[in-house]
Amino acid sequence: MIIEVWNQEITNIVLILNSLMISFCQLLSLMIIFFGVVRALVIYVGNGIFRGKAIDAFQQSRLSMSYSFSLGLSFLIGASILKTTASSQWEDFAKLTAIIAVRTVLNLLLERSIKQGNASTQQQEVSPL
């Protein structure tokens, strides 16, 4: 009897900690994406409008925002995994699989975009135009 009560208390503590971690991951994701968008806007406005380098500013701001989105998506994937750990229904696992698949594809596309952007930035630095 005491073991069952103790087991239930530990289960409740784990569920509370799990929900706190889910909220923390979602909050981190929101903050990272928000500051990434603000930083990209500052880069674009600062370099594009005030210095007249609109093409470079666009590329730099796009890369900056891509990094933030990629990291933010990683935290959201973690939060989705944590949500599913507390569930034992197959529907939740199927939803998690779909969510992770979509977010992973988005993350891969962002990483490819970042690599292409870095390559084109390096080419622009080398070319004397």
Q: Is residue 127 situated within a structural domain?
A: no
CB 81 within 8 A of CB 96: yes
Residues 18-29 have pLDDT tens digits of 999 999 999 999
Residue 31: its pLDDT value, please? Answer: 96
Residues 60-76 have pLDDT tens digits of 888 888 889 888 988 98
* Owning domain of residue 90: 2-121
96 closest CA partner among 111, 110, 82:
82
Q: Is residue 78 situated within a structural domain?
A: yes
**pTM score over 0.75:** no
CB 25 within 8 A of CB 79: yes
- For 15, residues 6+ apart whose C-beta sits below 8 A from its C-beta are 86
Number of other CB atoms surrounding residue 74 within 10 Å: 17
Count of domains for the chain: 1
Q: Is residue 96 situated within a structural domain?
A: yes
